[in-house]
Amino acid sequence: MGSSPLRIFSLDADGSDIPPDSFETILTILRNTRGFNLDIYKDKCIKRRIAIRIRKTGCSSAREYGELLKGDQAETDQLLKVITIHVSQFFRNPSTFERLRKDIFPYLFACCLREKRDSLSILSVGCAGGEEPYSVALLLKEFFAPVLDRINVSIAATDIDLPVLETARTGLYRNERLAEVPPEMRERWFCPENGHFRLAPEIREMVSFRQGDLYQMEDLSPSDLILCRNVLIYLERRHQERVLKKFAQILPKGRILVLGKSETLVGESRRLFQTVCPVERIYRTA
């Protein structure tokens, strides 16, 4: 009795040799079945993550994997999860939050008082598991509680991954996600629960989550502060510029945009913002 032929897997680890037709098939399946449009993202980033699932499933080619996706909804969900993988933690890049505490929030609250406004809107784009917007909420609660009695602060958080948003709403985190949370803050606002830590309802209630896609940005509301960190790096340059221009439209003059440490303004968007802190990638609308 003969043995089964050995299957040879030759796809490059970074997915760079995925044929264009197979790549388009996979993108079309995600677009049609999950409403997930990848046209604005860098092909190399997407191909690298597709290659992970091709290897994991044991498919011998991208074409075979495309055929698998057509009849396997569970695998489609797994692929979407890998593509939209989120790695974050509370107070990621602590120096950025220190700058927010010392300079940006006092400035924004002063703008509100000068303009006789009683509200301040904050938007966290690509919020992953909620660590970033919750960190902002903690910062406000810890250091600006008296101001919150006079100025109503709303924090909206968006992400393309609906299951991740559902997890964010629960406010339950593993210990490693809290590595940068000061001990006294952890003691005050987190409660141990079955090996994890549950964020206090008082903080969770400060943040509203909704699904949002940078491909469709028409429904973004005017904001005083936008945090969009470590998102633009995955987009093609022309789409980075389009997103930055949209941010400039919904930020009133003199309001704040915070990007990730490895991101910067590109193209015509440079005319729309002034640099506040180049190290922390903080900008103000011109």
How do the domains of the chain map onto residue ranges? 20-83, 94-285
Q: Give, for 111, the enclosing helix (H) or strand (E).
A: helix 105-114
Q: Using one digit for the tens of pLDDT, what is the confidence trace for 82-136?
A: 887 666 899 999 999 999 999 999 999 999 999 999 999 999 999 989 999 999 9
> How many Cβ atoms from other residues are within 10 Å of residue 146's Cβ?
7
**pLDDT on residue 96:** 97
**pLDDT on residue 235:** 86
Residue 273 near residue 247 (C-beta atoms within 8 A): no
**pLDDT on residue 10:** 52
Q: What is the dihedral of CA 167, 170, 174, 176, to 10 degrees?
A: 80
**pLDDT on residue 85:** 66
Cα distance from N-terminal residue to C-terminal residue, the chain: 76
**pLDDT on residue 2:** 43
Please state, in angstroms and as integers, the Cα–Cα distance from residue 205 to each residue in 189, 193, 225, following that order: 13, 19, 19
Q: Which residues of the chain have pLDDT under 70?
A: 1-15, 85-87
Buried b (16+ CB within 10 A) or exposed e, 124-141: bbbbbbbbbbbbbbbbbb
Answer whether CATH 3.20.20.70 is correct for domain 94-285: no
**pLDDT on residue 120:** 98
**pLDDT on residue 86:** 65
